Amino acid sequence: MSIEYVDYRDRYVPGGSAESEARRFHDALAKRRTVREFSDRPVSRDTIEWIVRAAGTAPSGANKQPWHFVAVQDRATKHAIRLAAEKEEREFYAHRANAEWLADLAPLGTDEHKEFLDVAPWVVVVFKVTRGDGDSQVYYVNESVGIAVGLFLAAAHLAGLATLTHTPSPMGFLTELLGRSKREKPFVVIPVGYPADGCRVPAAALRKKGLEEILTVV
């Protein structure tokens, strides 16, 4: 099979040195916080579309791009997601989560109340695609979708927006509620919007591992 190549001409060339640009990107990303109190201030559809386009640039196993984003702005649909998520989360906090999990969540102050699913102007539900077109294979789906979601969160943050990475447990209800194929599995729910006035975030979330804990150079 002859492979078609094109010149890699439109390479991104930043204004500063690699070191200063990497640091600048870090400094911007370090200001990202998961927010659980959103303003209802509108965010345009164009904005969401650019963020999803950014996510869609992600690398993926054999370039299969095994993701689908459902951007929900419809109030009734957001409310239906909230009701179903809260039902699962009531069970999760009361029975499903073990003691260690609950103890790990305690400093974050999370509970079964998911008002943000009503309030945030957009609730983006990310699906992972487990079989491709024509029932074709897909590869490294979790890795690929995880990277795409990371780009999504970074793009939203750099647009000045807040996000919450929400995983109602379990979240199979989203497939039917949003009319998706059984080949797609819900991966994460991401409310997107501006933080509420006076929004507070848990201090525990600010504690990040130091470089010496997350990097080994050999």
Ligand X SMILES: Cc1cc2nc3c(=O)[nH]c(=O)nc-3n(C[C@H](O)[C@H](O)[C@H](O)COP(=O)(O)O)c2cc1C
* Shortest distance, position 124 Cβ to ligand X, whole Å: 14
Which 8-state DSSP code applies to residue 203?
A: G
Q: Is 82 in the site for ligand X (CB under 6 A)?
A: no
φ, ψ (nearest 5 deg) of residue 68: -145, 135
Query: Which has the closest alpha carbon to 32: 126, 159, 149?
Result: 159
- Quote the CA–CA distance of 143 and 60 in Å, as a whole number: 8
For ligand X, give the closer residue by CB, 39 or 132. Answer: 39
Phi-psi region of 79 (alpha: psi -120 to 50; beta: other; left: phi over 0): alpha
* Shortest distance, position 173 Cβ to ligand X, whole Å: 14
DSSP-derived pairing of the beta strands 67-72 and 122-129: antiparallel
- Quote the CA–CA distance of 191 and 120 in Å, as a whole number: 6
| Residue 185: how many other CB atoms lie within 10 Å | 16
For ligand X, give the closer residue by CB, 110 or 130. Answer: 110
Tokens at 87, concatenated: 């039902």
- Quote the CA–CA distance of 78 and 168 in Å, as a whole number: 14
Choice from 39, 77, 110, 175 touching ligand X (CB under 6 A): 110
Choice from 34, 39, 77, 130 touching ligand X (CB under 6 A): 34
Q: How many residues bind ligand X (CB under 6 A)?
A: 10
For ligand X, give the closer residue by CB, 137 or 167. Answer: 167
* Shortest distance, position 111 Cβ to ligand X, whole Å: 9
* Shortest distance, position 176 Cβ to ligand X, whole Å: 20
Q: Is 71 in the site for ligand X (CB under 6 A)?
A: no
- Quote the CA–CA distance of 154 and 66 in Å, as a whole number: 19
Give, as ranges, the residues between 160 and 179 that touch ligand X (CB under 6 A): 164-167
For ligand X, give the closer residue by CB, 52 or 162. Answer: 162
For ligand X, give the closer residue by CB, 33 or 185. Answer: 33
For ligand X, give the closer residue by CB, 132 or 201. Answer: 201
* Shortest distance, position 33 Cβ to ligand X, whole Å: 4
- Quote the CA–CA distance of 50 and 46 in Å, as a whole number: 6
Q: Is 108 in the site for ligand X (CB under 6 A)?
A: yes
- Using CB under 6 A, list all residues that contact ligand X: 33-34, 36, 108, 110, 164-167, 205
